[in-house]
Amino acid sequence: MNQIFNYLKKYQLKRDSNFFTDSEFSCLAESKFTDLIKIANPETPSKVLISEPKPTEFITSFIAAIGAGCQVFLCNPNWGKLEWEQVLKLVQPDIILGNILNHKFLGGSLEKISRSPRDNPCKKTLPNEQNLIMIPTGGSSGKIKFAIHTWETLMSSVRGFQEYFQVQQINSFCVLPLYHVSGLMQFMRSFTTGGNLVNLSSYKDIFDKKEWNINSNEFFISLVPTQLQNLLQNAEIANWLSNFQTVLLGGAAAWEELFDAARKYQIKLAPTYGMTETASQVATLKPEDFLAGNNSNGQVLPHAKIIVQSDSGEILGHNQIGNIIIKASSLS
């Protein structure tokens, strides 16, 4: 995966007005890569659990683990005891990167895993191959699950995004968590296209500092409906949002009043439809169509195909209700 380190030469990340240069990122990522190679299992891919709250640590750990051919599990650093015990039992990681070790209540769980044989549920369901990327999804069951992706499925989503929006270099203003598909794909788009990433720990940081040293008309920003609703309560921030190249909106269904408020400020909104299993959106509305009054999720992206079927498998036409079937090269 030397290609991953080649991407580093074109990459920058900005956080809290601090630019990290290409060489600094490369040095940190390659240092972690070297450490992983030393301790990774040479016969079978090591399972690496990443639980890094700091963007730079997360990104460099992610790059290093992929480069080292590991099976990577992305985790929410803020999970509680029940979630962590569930994940540790399921994954039984070989290597843990991040602050999970600071959770004292997991000491017994970690000790038990270190002594247990490596015959676990993951080995029965995961192929014995490198560069699998497991992204967490809670689903409707309340139990933490992982969607299995590869570098290729994530890159397929990036290419579909590029082609749909007719952009080569993608700059992302990220306020969503990097361990989640919504934040991870913002990083992937900027990282692999030579773009820039502005990463905030929370969208609420926007309220504290609205003057960012960027040309926002060259950036995409992704929000969920409740975030957009809160930001639109402040006219100054709403006007600031209107300068962005595109404001992607997903994660939950939006409502007509929210669309009306966004149009009031001429925000170039792009409602999307997608999921963790499809590596983010497979359908997106173009901003110009939104501003013209369209409230739908738009058209299917080039890397995907969506059909609607009846319970008997019959393909349905326009305005008919049925089961949504997604086929995509980004599908896990």
Pick the last residue of a domain from 149, 182, 210.
149
Q: Does residue 321 share a domain with residue 173?
A: yes
Q: What confidence score (pLDDT) does residue 121 get?
A: 41
Residues of the chain with pLDDT under 70: 1-2, 5-6, 8-23, 42, 100-130, 139-142, 209-212
Distance CA 197, CA 13 (A): 5
Pick the last residue of a domain from 149, 176, 202.
149
Q: Does residue 322 share a domain with residue 237?
A: yes
Handedness of CA 179, 181, 183, 188 (dihedral sign): positive
Q: Does residue 196 share a domain with residue 120?
A: no
Q: Does residue 143 share a domain with residue 102?
A: yes
Q: Does residue 178 share a domain with residue 305?
A: yes
User: How do residues 256-291 score in pLDDT, each as one tens digit?
Assistant: 999 999 999 999 999 999 999 999 999 999 999 999
Beta strands in 76-201 (DSSP E): 95-98, 132-137, 145-150, 171-174, 196-199
What CATH number should be reported for the domain holding residue 45?
3.40.50.12780
Number of independent structural domains in the chain: 2
Q: Does residue 195 share a domain with residue 99?
A: no
Distance CA 224, CA 257 (A): 15
Residue 50's CB is within 10 A of a number of other CB atoms, namely 26
Amino acid letter at 182? S
Beta strands in the chain (DSSP E): 12-15, 18-20, 47-51, 71-74, 95-98, 132-137, 145-150, 171-174, 196-199, 219-223, 246-249, 269-275, 280-284, 299-300, 304-309, 323-328
**Side-chain-facing half-sphere of 73: CA atoms under 13 Å:** 26
Q: What confidence score (pLDDT) does residue 116 get?
A: 46
Range of the domain at 309: 152-328
Question: Which of 111, 153, 157, 159 is closest to 131 using CA atoms?
Answer: 153
Mean pLDDT of the chain: 85
Q: What confidence score (pLDDT) does residue 193 get?
A: 92
What are the beta bridge partners of residue 196? Answer: 12
Q: Does residue 232 share a domain with residue 136?
A: no
- Three-class DSSP category at 318: coil
